Amino acid sequence: MFSVFRLQNAQSVAHPGGCEIGPRPIDLHLKALKSMGAKVQDAQRGFIYCEADRLTGCDIQLDYPSVGATENIMLASVFAEGETIIRNAAKEPEIIDLQNYLQSTGVHVTGAGTSIVRIHGGEHKLRNAEHTIITDRIVTGTYMAAAGITGGELLLRNVIPEHLSSIISLLRESGCRVVVKGSTMLVAGPARLRALDIVRTLPYPGFPTDMQAQLVAMLTMARGTSIIVETVFENRYKHVDELLRMGANIKLEGRIAVVRGVKKLTGANVYARDLRGGAALVLAGLAAEGETAISDIKHIDRGYERIEDKLRQAGASIQRVN
């Protein structure tokens, strides 16, 4: 979501950054704010200027179920006059978590987790609230893939299994054993993974694009040929060149990756080009023979808190080198 800075009577916001994984336009965000009465103009030096005496609730149809746009509209609607309706809203668990938080502060918002979210705005007098953020499902999925690619066994606590259904299904299909008991999950990798037929990244509840790189890394050592179709971001295969350095057999054709499993990967000097691609290289390094050195780990640190400490607790030989 945007970071906003005060500038006289307007608000200025820097153009968002993040991983370079393809076009990431914010047109849906700006179109919604304009519909609510904000004046928006691009300016030089990488800033966008927004100004509004007041915002008015309205009916907003998203062209794509964007998580960030849905969240931004929900937040902007809190003090907008009247009701705001978001159609084709994102359904991710993070949307439901935001709704739960807003409700705890006194905001009247319903529909999160469905395609239509309604927010009744106005002069709310928000109350203090204590809220626990949900477990990161992508971090959880990454550790699940770590067990799969190494043939190891991990016991994961404080997970939310219903948020991981697509990941659980694919890991089981690949030969992993996944046992769920409440908020605890046991994941055990097989002696040799099985290839997956066709996997497409999709908005929730489909298989998340943020797990594509980790799955590709895991399937590099599977028996047979797997096909991955990236439908969300067009430039999300930067990790493939690095996996090839380690002996993987992957062919790219546009948004399709054909992964032919090899019996072993070999350690190499590789570079993390983005957040999830960096996590994929960590997984590949865990399973590879010899030493793997991953540079530009600043990308990994954006999404994983001291990943090396957690993996070392599970028996991995991994260390951060300054």
- 4-120 and 137-313: same fold? yes
pLDDT band at residue 19 under the 50/70/90 scheme? low
Chain center to CA of 226: 22
Enter the tokens of residue 119. Answer: 């927010």
Helix ranges, 162-211 (H):
165-173
Residues 6 or more apart from 22 whose CB is under 8 A from it?
233, 234, 235, 236
Q: Which pTM value belongs to this model?
A: 0.90
Residue 8 has pLDDT above 60, yes or no: no
Predicted confidence (pLDDT) per residue in 141-171, tens digit: 999 999 999 999 999 999 999 999 999 999 9
The confidence score (pLDDT) of residue 320 equals 95
CATH among 3.40.50.300, 3.65.10.10, 3.20.20.70, 3.40.1190.20 for 137-313: 3.65.10.10
How are beta strands 256-260 and 249-253 bridged, if at all? antiparallel
Q: What mean pLDDT, rounded, does the chain reach?
A: 92
The confidence score (pLDDT) of residue 5 equals 34
Enter the tokens of residue 312. Answer: 């070392």
Predicted confidence (pLDDT) per residue in 103-144, tens digit: 999 999 999 999 999 999 987 789 999 999 999 999 999 999
Contact indicator for 265, 287 with CB cutoff of 8 Å: yes
Q: How far apart are CA 221 and CA 12, in angstroms?
A: 48
Contact indicator for 89, 119 with CB cutoff of 8 Å: no
Give every strand in the sheet of 249-253, ordered side by side: 198-200, 225-229, 256-260, 249-253
The DSSP 8-state label assigned to residue 7 in this structure reads E
The full set of domain ranges for the chain reads 4-120, 137-313
The class that CATH gives domain 4-120 is alpha beta
| Residue reference for tokens 């179109």 | 31
How are beta strands 256-260 and 116-120 bridged, if at all? unpaired
The confidence score (pLDDT) of residue 4 equals 41
Predicted confidence (pLDDT) per residue in 26-45, tens digit: 889 999 999 999 998 876 66
Contact indicator for 264, 237 with CB cutoff of 8 Å: no
Chain center to CA of 93: 11
Is 19 one of the catalytic residues?
yes
Residue 269 has pLDDT above 70, yes or no: yes
pLDDT band at residue 69 under the 50/70/90 scheme? very high
Chain center to CA of 314: 24
Q: How far apart are CA 297 and CA 309, in angstroms?
A: 14
Radius of gyration of the chain (CA): 22
The DSSP 8-state label assigned to residue 207 in this structure reads B
- Catalytic pick among 19, 50, 58, 176: 19
